[in-house]
C-alpha cells in the first residue's frame, strides 16, 4: 500500500513549559523499558466520507485536531522534548512532535485493511516503523500520523518512545486529546499535568540502561514472525471456565481468571508444551507487567506519563493462568518499596544476572514477555465522530505477545511474535486451535 503525504508539520505545546518543569527526570523503571517506538492505531468511520483538501469544513476539522493536540502536549510536555545523551533526563524544550497527514490509494478501502490486517500494512499507517533498530537523541518522543481512506474512514497512528511512556500513559494521552478536541471550550483549564516525578521511589541507575538495550536486541531476532490471534468473548468465557474446571482449588478460592490471565496462560502453556517436546529439561519463563498506578499508596494518576509498571517473572507450573495471578497479585505498595529500597540495588543486580543468563543462548531457557492494554480505555477515544471501529498496535518483537481487548469488552486480540520456525508449531497447539481464530502459516509442513 502506497500512501501519499498530504502535509507535514511540527506541533508544539500551546503554552510554553514553565522553567521549573523544563527538566523531566527518568526513573529506574523508565530505564528498564526498551528504548523503542511503541505504536497505537485507531480506525474511525469519520470524520468525512472522502477527504478533500479544498473542503473548508473538512479542513476545519483537521485544524481543530492540530489545535487540540497542541493543548494536549501542554499537559504531556515531555513528549514535545528531547532525550539527553545520558538517558536520565528529558529536556522539555517544547520542540514539538511531527504531525503527518496521508492519503491512501483509491484501490484499497479501510474495510479491506480491517478484514485482513497485515503487519506491514499497519506499520505504514504509523509515523515511524516501530522496528527501527536504534534510537538516538535526535529521535522525537512522540509522533502522529492521520491517514485518510478515499472510500471513507480515517486511521490515527501514534508512536511513543517507550523509555518515556508505557501503554497506560500512551492511551491516556490520546484519550485526553480526544476529550479536548470534542469539548465545547477546547480548554485545558480543568486538566492536570500528566507528569509525576517518581525518581525518589525509583532512582535512576547508571548501569541498567546497557542491560535493557541488550535484552531488547535479543527480542529483535531477525528470523521472527508476528501473527494476530483473536479470542472472541465466547471462547474467552469457555477458556476461563475450563481453567476453573481443571483445578478444583480455583473454584474453592472463588478465583476466576481475568481475560489477560486466561489468554496469557493458554499461550504460555502452548510454549511450554512446544519446548518440552524438543527438550524435556527446557524452562519457559514468563515476564508479566503489573501497572503500579493503582497499587501504590497513595495511588498515582491513571494516565500519568512514565513507565509505571513492575515486571514479575513467572516460572512454569501446571496451571499457568493461576500462576500468573499468584505472582501479580502480590505486587502492592509494600512489595514495591521493598524491592526498590536503597535504590533497588538488589533488584538491579538480580536483573543483570538474569540478562546474562538469558543471553547465553542454548541453555534451554525461553523468556517470553506479555504486555498489553487490556482494561484501559482503548476503544474510548472519541473525537466527535464516534468511537474507534478497531484499535490495535503494530509491534513486532521476538518472544513477545501484545494482548489487547476487543471492542465488545469481552474478547482478546493477541499479536504473538515467535521465531519463524516456532510459529507453525505454536499454531498446532490444541488449546490455540480450540480457542483462537487466525490465518495459518503457509508452508507449515503440516497435512
Report percent pLDDT > 90 for the chain. Answer: 57
Q: How many CB atoms lie within 10 A of CB 48?
A: 16
Instruction: Quote the cell numbers at residue 407.
Output: 471492542
Q: How many CB atoms lie within 10 A of CB 292?
A: 25
Predicted pLDDT of residue 363: 63
Instruction: Quote the cell numbers at residue 323.
Output: 500462576
Give 265-306 pLDDT, tens digit per residue. 999 999 999 988 887 567 788 899 999 999 999 999 888 999
Over 80: is that where the pLDDT of 316 sits? no
Instruction: Quote the cell numbers at residue 312.
Output: 514479575
Query: DSSP 3-state assignment of 262?
Result: helix
Predicted pLDDT of residue 87: 63
Q: How many CB atoms lie within 10 A of CB 376?
A: 19
Q: For residue 31, which of 344, 417, 354, 312 has the smallest C-alpha distance?
A: 344
Instruction: Quote the cell numbers at residue 43.
Output: 480506525
83/392 Cα distance (integer angstroms): 27
Give 37-48 pLDDT, tens digit per residue. 999 999 999 765
420/39 Cα distance (integer angstroms): 22
Give 320-343 pLDDT, tens digit per residue. 888 888 889 999 999 999 999 888
Give 230-252 pLDDT, tens digit per residue. 999 999 999 999 988 877 665 55
CATH superfamily, with its number, for domain 216-438: Chloramphenicol acetyltransferase-like domain (3.30.559.10)
**Which residue in the block uniquely carries the three cell numbers 536483573?**
351
Over 80: is that where the pLDDT of 198 sits? yes
Q: At what angle do helices 233-246 and 259-278 cross, to 10 degrees?
A: 70
Predicted pLDDT of residue 361: 66
Same fold: 4-183 with 216-438? yes
444/424 Cα distance (integer angstroms): 5
**263 phi and psi, to 5 degrees?**
-75, -40
Give 378-427 pLDDT, tens digit per residue. 999 999 989 999 999 998 889 999 999 999 999 999 999 999 999 999 99
Torsion, Cα of 338, 341, 345, 346 (10° steps):
-20
Mean pLDDT of 122-133: 88
User: Does residue 197 have an active-site annotation?
Assistant: no
Indicate the domain borders of the chain.
4-183, 216-438
User: Does residue 382 have an active-site annotation?
Assistant: yes
Q: Are 431 and 444 in contact (CB under 8 A)?
A: no
Exactly one of 24, 148, 162, 310 is catalytic; which is it?
162
- CA-based torsion, 21, 25, 26, 27: positive or negative: negative
Taking the whole predicted model, whether its pTM rises above 0.85 is answered as yes
Q: Are 436 and 229 in contact (CB under 8 A)?
A: yes
Give every strand in the sheet of 412-419, ordered side by side. Answer: 224-231, 412-419, 400-405, 365-372, 283-291, 309-314
Query: CATH number of the domain at 4-183, out of 3.40.50.620, 3.60.150.10, 3.65.10.10, 3.30.559.10?
Result: 3.30.559.10
Q: In DSSP terms, which residues pair with 279 in a beta bridge?
A: none
Amino acid at each position: 500500500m502506497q500512501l501519499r503525504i498530504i502535509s507535514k508539520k511540527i506541533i508544539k505545546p500551546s503554552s510554553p513549559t514553565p522553567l521549573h518543569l523544563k527538566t523531566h527526570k527518568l526513573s529506574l523503571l523508565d530505564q528498564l523499558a526498551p528504548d523503542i517506538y511503541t505504536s497505537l492505531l485507531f480506525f474511525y468511520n469519520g470524520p468525512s466520507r472522502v477527504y478533500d483538501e479544498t473542503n473548508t469544513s473538512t479542513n476545519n476539522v483537521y485544524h481543530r485536531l492540530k489545535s487540540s493536540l497542541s493543548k494536549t502536549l501542554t499537559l504531556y510536555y515531555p513528549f514535545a522534548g528531547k532525550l539527553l545523551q545520558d538517558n536520565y533526563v528529558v529536556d522539555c524544550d517544547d520542540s514539538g512532535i511531527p504531525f503527518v497527514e496521508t492519503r491512501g490509494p483509491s484501490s484499497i478501502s479501510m474495510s479491506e485493511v480491517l478484514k485482513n490486517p497485515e503487519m506491514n500494512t499497519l506499520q505504514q499507517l504509523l509515523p515511524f516503523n516501530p522496528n527501527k533498530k536504534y534510537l538516538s537523541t535526535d529521535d522525537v518522543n512522540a509522533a502522529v500520523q492521520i491517514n485518510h481512506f478515499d472510500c471513507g474512514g480515517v486511521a490515527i497512528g501514534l508512536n511513543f518512545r517507550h523509555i518515556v511512556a508505557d501503554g497506560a500513559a500512551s492511551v491516556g494521552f490520546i484519550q485526553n486529546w480526544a476529550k479536548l478536541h470534542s469539548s465545547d471550550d477546547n480548554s485545558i483549564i480543568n486538566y492536570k499535568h500528566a507528569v509525576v516525578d517518581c525518581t525518589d521511589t525509583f532512582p535512576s541507575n547508571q548501569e541498567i540502561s546497557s542491560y535493557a538495550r541488550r535484552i531488547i536486541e535479543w527480542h529483535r531476532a531477525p528470523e521472527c514472525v508476528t501473527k494476530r490471534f483473536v479470542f472472541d468473548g465466547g471462547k474467552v468465557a469457555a477458556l476461563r471456565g475450563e481453567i476453573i474446571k481443571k483445578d478444583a482449588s480455583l473454584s474453592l478460592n472463588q478465583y476466576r481468571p481475568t481475560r489477560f490471565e486466561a489468554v496469557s496462560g493458554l499461550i504460555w502453556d502452548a510454549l511450554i508444551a512446544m519446548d518440552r517436546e524438543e527438550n524435556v529439561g527446557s524452562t519457559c519463563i514468563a515476564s508479566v507487567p503489573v501497572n503500579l498506578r493503582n497499587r501504590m499508596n497513595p495511588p498515582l494518576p491513571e494516565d500519568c506519563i512514565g513507565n509505571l509498571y513492575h515486571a514479575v517473572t513467572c516460572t512454569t507450573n501446571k496451571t499457568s493462568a493461576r500462576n500468573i495471578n499468584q505472582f501479580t497479585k502480590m505486587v502492592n505498595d509494600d512489595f514495591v518499596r521493598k524491592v526498590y529500597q536503597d535504590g533497588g540495588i538488589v533488584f538491579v543486580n538480580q536483573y543483570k544476572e538474569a540478562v546474562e543468563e538469558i543471553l547465553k543462548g542454548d541453555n534451554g531457557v525461553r523468556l517470553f514477555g506479555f504486555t498489553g492494554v487490556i482494561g484501559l480505555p482503548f476503544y474510548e477515544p472519541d473525537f466527535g465522530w464516534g468511537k474507534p471501529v478497531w484499535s490495535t498496535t503494530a509491534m513486532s518483537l521476538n518472544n513477545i505477545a501484545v494482548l489487547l481487548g476487543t471492542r465488545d469488552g469481552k474478547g482478546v486480540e493477541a499479536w504473538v511474535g515467535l521465531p519463524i520456525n516456532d510459529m507453525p508449531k505454536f499454531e498446532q497447539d490444541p488449546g490455540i486451535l480450540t480457542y483462537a481464530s487466525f490465518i495459518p502459516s503457509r508452508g507449515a509442513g503440516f497435512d
